[in-house]
Amino acid sequence: EDNTTPEIGQINATNPCGEQPLLSGESCNLGSINLGNFVNDKEFQEDRFIEIIRTCVRFLDNVIDANNHPTDKTIEMNSLTRKIGLGLMGWADLLIRMDIAYDSDEAINLADRIGAILQDTADRYSSHLGKLKGDFPAFDKSTLNIENGGEWETMRNAWRLSIAPTGTISMISNCSSGIEPLFGIAYKKHNMSAALEGIELFYINDDLKKQLDENIIDEENEDINLDKYLDGGGDIRSLMSEEQNKIFVESPMISPKWHVKTQAVFQKYVDSGISKTINLPNEATKEDVEEAYTLAWELGCKGITVYRAGSREKEVLVSTNNKTTNKTTTSNVEKVLETNVPQPRNRPSTVPGVTEKIRTGHGNMYVTVNFDQQTDPFEVFTNLGKAGSSDSANLEAVSRLISLALRSGIEPKEIVNELRGISDLPVWDNGKLILSAPDAVAQVLAKHSSIDSIEKIGVDITQSDGNNKTSDQNNGNGINHNTENKNTIPEQPKVGMPCPECHGSNLIFEEGCLNCHECGYSKCG
């Protein structure tokens, strides 16, 4: 119903991140305004904001003509509708600098005010450009046209607004991403020169660091070096006031309701879509997910991305409180150990099997699972890329070891546990996130082993110290709590995943994308 040019085509789908539901042949033309730059003495600078909106609308409109489009179809469609997508970033920074909590009615009211200004100014200025430079060619039959029941006599751009992912440009601009809350206020960050010296650097939110540098002292009235304090295991929240802990809120600490309400209030004013992630805790249920989607629908969101913390990490996700599945896993391992050294079964000359084609970050892969007479998985073969390539050789080694394990009596779910969650170049395949080639093999093996979901696999998630020993200072989500720590503020759930580019641990799901807060790696969808 928001298609302003139904006469020239229908909208069949959004782009991978969800902020641009375009006609066939159209392309994204996006830009974002850093809201954190519009604060003076804790007041929002409305006049400057309006001025910048006008500049950005004109700039993005000029980009359409200056751009080298890849095909004749995109040239035709972009010229017909001249859609642009001006959006926002730095929302969390703005709130912090105005002493407003992200999860508060005050923040929602401010979002309502800013969204209204953004829409009104962008629409009016695009209409002004229509008078100066001409309407977009499809305007005559557009629903925007006053002669067709719309509100405008002139309009340069069929759409004006879209809040898109800003993972890379927000890092370059040193601001928070889109309309997301902060990923973290203090975390380890790596760079090449520091790594060569064996040094791990701490990133501390600039606004928080400025506030703490002015007030931070220890019990003996001595200044505290924040980097040394954090490196020694200190919790930065224990140094913050009660008010600061409310203002400097991190994404996992915010209830899904406030995530949805924030997106919904901006959606009222954005004619295209919004890319945002609704973060759920690790223990979230199907009912919690349903509630988030239902609330988003009720409040008028065009679409949402839901991410349950830890659901894409290598850490196994079964609760340590699930005694039944833990006992099952233990008994299965004991059965294998009781046989002394496992002896692989001989392979019959003929075995039945299935082959599946699955998309990976390195191209299409074919996974064959063969079965024994009891219809249990017996061996696995894989084919990826050209023979002789390192990817193909590594995967062949993996499939041979899987086959050896299966023929030696290892349960398929144990193999799936080891492979599932390994991350390299994540891609989507038929609605499923494929983190890597081994992860793809695990998903195919699980499918043909009657393993409905990874959550049903009984495995203890207590942390390993690298020697198969587990830590008893664990909260069930892979978070180690030192019982001797004197901090009064509980540590919040970790949301970072391993980055396939820099191998750091600050790859997070936000704005509908995977963004690394260390090296800037970004993967949409």
Residues carrying an active site annotation: 15, 17, 19
**Furthest CA-CA distance within the chain:** 84
Beta carbons of 358 and 441 less than 8 angstroms apart: no
**CA-CA distance, 444 to 156, in Å (whole number)?**
50
State phi, psi for 182 to the nearest 5 degrees.
-65, 140
**CA-CA distance, 4 to 142, in Å (whole number)?**
5
Q: Assign 302 to helix, strand or coil.
A: coil
**CA-CA distance, 304 to 296, in Å (whole number)?**
7
Beta carbons of 437 and 424 less than 8 angstroms apart: yes
**Exposure string for 278-312, b = 16+ CB within 10 A, e = fewer:** bbbebebeeeeeebbbebbeeeebbbbbbbbbbbb
Tokens for 18? 């969800």
DSSP string, 306-341: EEETTTTSSS--S-TT-HHHHHHHHHHHHHHHHTSS
Which alpha helices (DSSP H) does 71-104 contain, by range? 72-81, 91-97
**CA-CA distance, 368 to 383, in Å (whole number)?**
9
**CA-CA distance, 508 to 522, in Å (whole number)?**
10
Query: Amino acid identity, residue 148?
Result: N
Residues 6+ apart with CB under 8 A from 284: 256, 308
Closest by CA position to 511, among listed 255, 168, 185, 261: 168
**CA-CA distance, 300 to 279, in Å (whole number)?**
19
Query: Amino acid identity, residue 18?
Result: G
Q: Assign 523 to helix, strand or coil.
A: strand
Sign of torsion, CA 386 390 391 395?
A: positive
Q: What angle do CA 22, 25, 28 make, to 5 degrees?
A: 50
C-alpha separations of 504 from 355, 362, 439 in Å: 35, 21, 19
* Residue 413, CA atoms < 13 Å, CB-side half-sphere: 17
